[in-house]
Amino acid sequence: MSGFATALKVAAGLTEARLQAEIAALPDTPVRAAMAYAARGGKKLRGFLVLESARLHGIAPEMAVQAASAIEAIHAYSLVHDDLPAMDDDDLRRGQPTVHVKWDEATAILVGDALQTLAFGLLARDDAAPMPQARLALIASLAHAAGGAGMVLGQALDIAAETAATPLSLDEITALQAGKTGALIEWSACAGARMVGADPTHLAAYARALGLAFQIADDILDVEGDAALAGKRLHKDEAAGKATFVSLLGLDGAKARARDLIAEAQEALQVYGNDAQQLREAAQFVIARSN
Amino acid sequence: MSGFATALKVAAGLTEARLQAEIAALPDTPVRAAMAYAARGGKKLRGFLVLESARLHGIAPEMAVQAASAIEAIHAYSLVHDDLPAMDDDDLRRGQPTVHVKWDEATAILVGDALQTLAFGLLARDDAAPMPQARLALIASLAHAAGGAGMVLGQALDIAAETAATPLSLDEITALQAGKTGALIEWSACAGARMVGADPTHLAAYARALGLAFQIADDILDVEGDAALAGKRLHKDEAAGKATFVSLLGLDGAKARARDLIAEAQEALQVYGNDAQQLREAAQFVIARSN
């Protein structure tokens, strides 16, 4: 395995173990079982970004793993709610039945709700790592990234787009994705800087380019991918007649745009020199999925 | 108006203004409009408890209003999700159509999600009032009260009860309600103590008795109440064949238990002397609704 593949695997193991331990400490109900199920698997890319961002600022993984687990709990909550019949209505996620299929809709609503709560609890109770002010900054910035000015804004724009008279423009779809997937990726990449009160500007620029490239890669995979490998339903944007980066830029144009964004992401890391090697490889990984 | 009625009205006004200002600062989408709608009205009893608990510990309302708004945001989120078709399937709340009826289910899911996020953001960004450590304690205890060991636990037990072979026992329904409605009421009453690092034991005892009395009063209202005055659908527990405090204790037994609990709540406030007069009147108010 490459250095990046190893680092991603180690980060995923650490993050998932912490998150599962937190869930296992809750009272035993079907909601707890479904929370554990929803938090299982996936690449844990956001957790990896937190741990790498922390390492860049001299913070050891064991000091940053609560923040990494928190962002993965938020990500897992958003997937469970996104998959609900009233939202994207997906029955497959990470190659397994979605929570509302395996349990029921009420359980899926509660699982998402409780995973979000858990994320903020993890950040507030993280006595291992950063100073109180830094932890409050992490919580406030996560609330901004996940809420009605961040991820939920992106989802609200997505819903509005479905009933709009005309398909979204490139600017509109870029704004939508900056909220829907970009905000949590940016929070993750900036977390280490926030933990020590450092300037997150360069990491934010890296993350914005990475997040957009990630979404473009997702749109490419939706057209070109293999559903068995992706572990989820594909071709659904096309079927729904939704504007995507591929429908707006064409397949080659989308691939070129993703490559440009990855170059931009790498450029933003220059200030960190060799220490940012894993983050550079993470950027390569994002387009390797689709090129 | 009594001193309590005035204090409740003032607290509701302060809390709602702060919450609406926070929502108005979000980008303009239907989700934002529905968040404002969901946060409107209601008694704001939890916000009042936060402000009174703060006052008991020498903290002025303007220093505690963010915490009061945060708990009302959590309460509003829980109502919006609870009312969804997959949960309690209610179409009337506070005398108005519920969010999923007025908008749609996807919007209601996002509204609940974003209101929860907003609550934690409010507590993290509250630079007016308590010290960072106290704010982290508020956030951690709110996450405990709202999550899979608190409110969501109560809701999970409630769902499990619907498919159980036998109706719940008195102990089981008491445990269910301690989570479902008790945990947020307890957090609210203890908030002022947590803001100054004082011992919340007596306030917690007050709140546990108050919360249980509140739920018993709700069960009594469900049987005896006037739907137009209550602003929501009544007789639904009876129709669903659900065990309630009234079905288990009888109407007179339930009223007697509520009165005992209110005496217990008042008793727990002795240590605060006359300063706790509003909290005492709040306890009277809870059973006045149903006696």
Residues of A (74-93) whose Cβ lies below 8 Å from B = 77, 81, 84, 86-87
Instruction: Write out pLDDT tens, residues A67-91.
Output: 999 999 999 999 999 999 999 999 9
Contact of B134 with chain A, judged by CB distance below 8 Å, is answered with no
Closest Cα in chain A, distance from residue B281 (Å)? 32
Quote the minimal CA–CA distance from B278 to chain A in Å.
Answer: 31
Distance CA B165, CA B30 (A): 42
Give me chain B's average pLDDT, please. 92
pLDDT band for position A176 (50/70/90)? very high
CA distance A117 to B148: 8
CB within 8 Å: A148 and B32: yes
Tokens of A25: 């400490």
CA dist B264 and B278 (Å) reads 16
ipTM above 0.90, yes or no: yes
Closest CA relative to residue A112, chosen from B37, B133, B5, B110: B110
Short-list A190, A247, A184, CA closest to A216: A247
The amino acid at B139: I
* A124: nearest CB among B30, B86, B140: B140
Q: Is B96 helix (H, G, I), strand (E, B) or coil?
A: strand
- For A3-288, the fitting CATH number among 2.60.120.1440, 1.10.600.10, 3.30.470.20, 3.30.300.30 is 1.10.600.10
What pLDDT, on a 0 to 100 scale, did the predictor assign at position B54? Answer: 96
Residues 95-114 of B with CB under 8 A from A: 104-107, 109-110, 112-114
> Quick one: which of B115, B138, B21, B50 has its CA closest to A135?
B138
Tens digits of per-residue pLDDT, B128-142? 667 888 999 999 999
Q: Are B60 and B53 in contact (CB under 8 A)?
A: no
> Is residue B24 classed exposed, middle or buried when 0-12, 13-18 and 19+ CB atoms within 10 A define those classes?
exposed
CA distance A9 to A104: 31
Identify the H or E element spanning B83.
Answer: none
Residue of chain B whose Cα is closest to the Cα of A26? B149
- Residue B116: which of A23, A113, A153 has the nearest Cβ? A113
Which residues of chain B are within 8 Å of residue A31 when distances are taken between CB atoms?
148, 152-153, 155-156
Check residue B230 and give its pLDDT.
Answer: 63
| Residues B145-171: tens digit of each pLDDT | 999 999 999 999 998 888 888 889 999
Segment A212-260, tens digit of pLDDT: 999 999 899 888 876 656 666 666 666 667 789 999 999 999 999 999 9
B145 contacts in A (CB within 8 Å)? none
- Phi and psi (nearest 5°) for A58? 80, 20
A291: pLDDT strictly greater than 60? no
Residues 6+ apart with CB under 8 A from A227: A233, A234
Q: Tokens 């950040």 map to which residue? A: A123
**CA of B69 to nearest chain A CA: how many angstroms apart?**
15
